[in-house]
Amino acid sequence: MADIVVVEAHTKVLDLDGRPRPFVRVLTRSDEKASVLADKLADLADVETVLIGFHPIRQATMEGQLAEALQPVAQAFTAFALHAFLDTGLARSIESGMADLAALADRHAMDPDRLSALLGYLVNERYLTRVADRWELTGKMRAVARIEPWYTLLIGGYGQLLPTIRELLPAGAPFGSRDAVAVGRGSCGISQYDAIPMIVSLLSGENALLGRIIDIGCGDGSFLASLIKQNQAEAGIGLDSDPGSIRAANESIDSWGLASRLSFQTTTVQDFIAAQSGDGRRDCFLASFVLQEILEQQGEESLRSVLRAISRRGSRLLVVEVEPGRDGLDMTTGLANRYYNAYFLLHALTEQRLASRDYWEAIFADCGFSVARSATVNPEVDSTGLEFGLLLSPRSGWVA
């Protein structure tokens, strides 16, 4: 491992609870080699990598100014290139050993010259390496592949929105469009890391197994499937008004091994509730990132009508939402900048209205619910505190 110097190998740091943790600082001129070393040490120590280099003094040139100012453009191209590389399965093919251009083009029915241009672009961005006529993923690429659902949501789901921002700004302009299937797939994938563990923790205090979880806006169904696989309820019903999302969910039921416990319907929650009869006390409705859409697209009174209908049935309600900001949160760094900064912009442009936790809790109280339990995301995944979960119970004796 030339080009890497390891210093302070025996240093320890203290975590937030005052417990010592082993710590290694790596000085390197090679991002790629540092990523490989960090992967090897990930289970043994906290690793800090410091990129070092020599930059001689030079006069400011037009070329230097251009390179600096074009960085956001380059980052946009890279984001779309990475999404294409992941979403088409190219990354999986190369990782499985298929690294010859002709074989890759044949397997994925791609034009060899265009595929070569994409792979060459990713080599120059240090996401791939090329040895002779074969490509390999770098540690940098593997790190991106591990968080593919975020690319599916932001690029696959909302990528078509970005070129239209200028047209969406005038007063009276319509809202922008998005790919609902990709949004659902990306959101469900992300939820495996944040919302689903939070929901499981909310349900852990329940004395009896739920009869049904009814997922409002279920997307590709994987969110609901995860909960049923973990036996959070006897059965699950997914509702979504987008036929493509329901089609994707139905195509996956057999692979999940849940054909007898899951079903999906192309319908709205209002129509579903209207068709129900009998006692709803063993049901729990799930509204994960969906009340924000009802609020903006149908209005507060329509939202209240849905909530009142659920509470009148005696059903519980699981809610996952995101606040539109938090006092003291620095939006210029970390996940707040790299994810939520874009998230807030996209929601404002696509007919979704984020609201504060205080706002939601007031609405829930007015509609006959009380907060049984609350939770936030594991700070090791998301330390911003913006995403929160609530388990709501209908209040006894409440009258709409």
Q: Cβ(348)–Cβ(325) under 8 Å? A: no
Query: Would you say how long the chain is, in residues?
Result: 400
Helix (H), strand (E), coil (C) string for 208-261: CCEEEEEEECCCCCHHHHHHHHCCCEEEEEEEECCHHHHHHHHHHHHHHCCCCC
The identity of residue 364, as a single letter, is: F
Only one residue has tokens 């057999």, namely 254
In this structure, what token pair is assigned to residue 330? Answer: 């620095």
Tell me what percent of the residues of the chain surpass a pLDDT of 70. Answer: 92
The predicted pLDDT at position 1 comes to: 46
pTM of the model: 0.83
The secondary structure of 53-99 as a DSSP string is ---------HHHHHHHHTHHHHHHHHHHHHHHHHHTTHHHHHHTT--
Per-residue pLDDT reduced to its tens digit, 238-268: 999 999 999 999 999 999 999 999 999 999 9
Which helix (H) or strand (E) segment holds residue 266: the answer is strand 262-266
Q: Where are the domains of the chain?
A: 4-51, 71-146, 193-394
> Is there a contact between 185 and 219 (Cβ–Cβ < 8 Å)?
yes
Rounded-to-integer distance, Cα 74 and Cα 95, Å: 25
Residues 6+ apart with CB under 8 A from 44: 22
In contact, 191 and 223? CB cutoff 8 Å? yes
The CATH code of domain 193-394 reads 3.40.50.150
Q: Which residues contact 163 (CB under 8 A, 6 or more apart)?
A: none
- CA distances to 178, 224, 384 from 338, rounded to whole Å, are 20, 27, 12
Task: Locate 303 and state its tokens.
Answer: 């939202």
For residues 14, 17, 19, 25, the Cα torsion angle rounded to the nearest 10 degrees is -30
Using CA atoms, how far residue 156 sits from 112, 140, 180, 285, 310, in Å, is: 23, 20, 10, 28, 33
Angle between helix axes 243-256 and 180-191 (nearest 10 degrees) is: 40
Q: Which residues of the chain have pLDDT under 50?
A: 1, 9
DSSP state of 390: E
Task: Write phi, then psi, for 286 (nearest 5 degrees).
Answer: -120, 120
DSSP reduced 3-state for 283: strand
Q: By three-state DSSP, how is residue 286 classified?
A: strand
Give the residue among 263, 369, 261 at the shortest CA–CA distance from 307: 369
User: Looking at the DSSP assignment, which residues form a beta bridge with residue 25?
Assistant: 7, 48
Spell out the residues 6+ positions from residue 292 whose beta carbon is closer than 8 angstroms to its own: 321, 322, 347, 352, 353, 354, 355
pLDDT value, residue 54:
67
Q: What is the DSSP letter of 155?
A: I
- The pairing of beta strand 210-216 with beta strand 283-288: parallel
Q: What is the pLDDT of residue 107?
A: 95
Rounded to 10 degrees, the C-alpha dihedral 30/122/332/25 comes to -20
The pLDDT tens digits for 328-384 are 999 999 999 999 999 999 999 999 999 999 999 999 999 999 999 999 999 999 999
Q: What is the pLDDT of residues 129-138, one digit of tens each?
A: 998 878 999 9
Amino acid at 272: F
Q: Identify the three-state secondary structure at position 369.
A: strand
b/e map 294-311, b = 16+ CB within 10 Å:
bbbeeeeeebbbbbbbbb
User: Under CATH, which number does the domain 71-146 receive?
Assistant: 1.10.10.10
